[in-house]
Structure 1
Amino acid sequence: MIGARIRELRTERGLTLAQLAAAAGVSSGLISQVERDLADPSLETLRKIARVLDLPLFSLFQEPAAAAVAVVRREGRMLVRSPAGGISYTRVSPGHGRLEVLEGCLLPGGSSAAEPWSHPSEECVLVLRGRLVVEVSGTEHLLEEGDSCSFDSSLPHLYRNPGEEPAGFLVTVTPPSY
C-alpha cells in the first residue's frame, strides 16, 4: 500500500523517480523497490520522502475519504517500525485532520532518531509505562510513568529510553508533519 501511495504522490507532484531519490538522499533503486512493494523503507527513509513530498509522515499511509466519525480499531492501526533505533509507532488517530495521535514503544537504550530533528508542529508526549528522556534543543527532560511534556517541534528533539524495560508513550502532534 505505501509503495503505491508514494508513486501516486510523486507523480501528482510531477517528480521523476530519480528526482525524488536525489532530493531524499536515497538511491533511485530503493525508491523503485519501495514503489513496487519489493522493499520496506526505514522510518528515516520515510521521513526523508515525506519531507520532499511536503507531507506529514503518516499521510504516506492515509486512506481516502474521511468519515465524520472515525473509529480506529487496535488491530487496524497503521504500524511503522525502525529497527535501527528500536522504536515503533502505531497511529491511533485516523490519519486525516489537524491532529495526529501515535502510540510509541521504545526499546531499552533506543532512541527515536539518530540525531535530534525538527518539523513544523507542536507535540505533547505522555509516558504510559517505563521512562523516557525527551531531549529538546540539547536539554534533557526525564519523564516517568504518567508524566507528560509539551514542546515546539520546530526545535531539534528526540526521545530516548534510559531504562531497562520498553517505554510506552502517547504522542500528539498538531498539525501532523514529517
Structure 2
Amino acid sequence: MDGFRIRELRANRGMTISELALATEVSAGLISQVERGRSDPSLETLRKISRALDVPLFELFEQEPEGGGVSVVRKDHQVRITSPTADITYSRHSAGNGQLEVLRGSLKPGGASSAEPWSHPSEECVVVIEGALVAEVQGKRYSLAEGDSCHFNSRLPHRLINEGNVMATFIIAATPPSY
C-alpha cells in the first residue's frame, strides 16, 4: 500500500486530512500516519478511504502499465492485502489501471470476506478454485463448490463465507473496479 498515493488522491480532490478523516470516521492522526508510511491500515480502513475518495480500493495501489497498452503483473510484484482479522487475503492479478479488476482470494475456514454484507458500484463474478464458499447476496445464500461461479450486481449487499474446514481459494473479476 502506498501512502503517497492516498495523499495524492486526497490532494487532487482538494480534501484536507481532517476532511478525509471525517468522511472515513478514522482519526486524522491515522490518516497522516498512513500517508507518511508510518502505519499500515486495515482492509476496512482502506475500504473507507477508497469510498471517501470515490476510487476503487486497489487504485490506492495503482501500478503504471509497462508500455504499449499491455500490463504484465509478475507473481512477486502482485499487490496483496489482508483483512484485520486475517480471515481473507487478496492479491491483485490485474494491473489496476483499467476497467477490470481480477483478484485471487483466500478465505480461511469459518471466515467471511466482511463482517456484514456490503455493496459497491460494479458487477463481479466469483469462481471457486479450491474448497467451497457461500456467496451471500441480498440476504440469499448460494453454495459454491470447486469450479462453481456466481455472477451478481455488486450494488446488492454481499459477502463471501467459508463454512468448510479447509482454506477456500477463489478468483473475483469485477468491472469497473470498486473495491
TM-score, normalising length: structure 2: 0.96
Kindly indicate whether the alpha-carbon contact (under 8 Å) linking 2:34 and 2:40 is maintained by their aligned counterparts in 1: yes
Map of 1:2 onto structure 2: 2
Map of 1:11 onto structure 2: 11
Kindly indicate whether the alpha-carbon contact (under 8 Å) linking 1:85 and 1:114 is maintained by their aligned counterparts in 2: no
Map of 2:141 onto structure 1: 140
After superposition, where does 1:145-160 map in structure 2 within 5 Å? 145-160=146-161
Q: Which runs of 5+ in 2 are unaligned?
A: none
- Deviations 1:71-93 (Å, cap 9, x if unpaired)? 11111100011131510100001
Map of 2:58 onto structure 1: 58
Q: Which runs of 5+ in 1 are unaligned?
A: none
Q: Let me know the Cα RMSD of the aligned residues.
A: 1.1
Secondary structure of residue in 1 paired with 2:30: helix
State the percentage of identical aligned residues: 58
- Deviations 1:137-165 (Å, cap 9, x if unpaired)? 00010100000000000000000110111
Secondary structure of residue in 2 paired with 1:9: helix
- Stretch moving more, 8-17 or 83-92: 83-92
Map of 1:80 onto structure 2: 81
Check if 1:128 corresponds to 2:123.
no
- Deviations 1:5-37 (Å, cap 9, x if unpaired)? 001111111111010000011111110110111
Kindly indicate whether the alpha-carbon contact (under 8 Å) linking 1:71 and 1:94 is maintained by their aligned counterparts in 2: yes
Secondary structure of residue in 2 paired with 1:128: strand
1:7–1:43 distance in 2 versus 1, CA, 3 Å: same
Kindly indicate whether the alpha-carbon contact (under 8 Å) linking 1:127 and 1:169 is maintained by their aligned counterparts in 2: yes
The alpha carbon displacement at 1:64 in A equals: 3.4
Tell me how far apart the structure 1 counterparts of residues 71 and 124 of structure 2 sit (CA, whole Å). Answer: 22
Secondary structure of residue in 2 paired with 1:21: helix
Q: Which residue identity is paired with 1:52? A: A
Tell me how far apart the structure 1 counterparts of residues 74 and 65 of structure 2 sit (CA, whole Å). Answer: 17
The alpha carbon displacement at 1:61 in A equals: 0.3
The alpha carbon displacement at 1:63 in A equals: 2.1
Check if 1:42 corresponds to 2:45.
no
After superposition, where does 1:154-173 map in structure 2 within 5 Å? 154-173=155-174
Secondary structure of residue in 2 paired with 1:80: strand
TM-score, normalising length: structure 1: 0.97
Map of 1:105 onto structure 2: 106
- Deviations 1:51-80 (Å, cap 9, x if unpaired)? 010000000000235631111111110001
Kindly indicate whether the alpha-carbon contact (under 8 Å) linking 2:44 and 2:84 is maintained by their aligned counterparts in 1: no
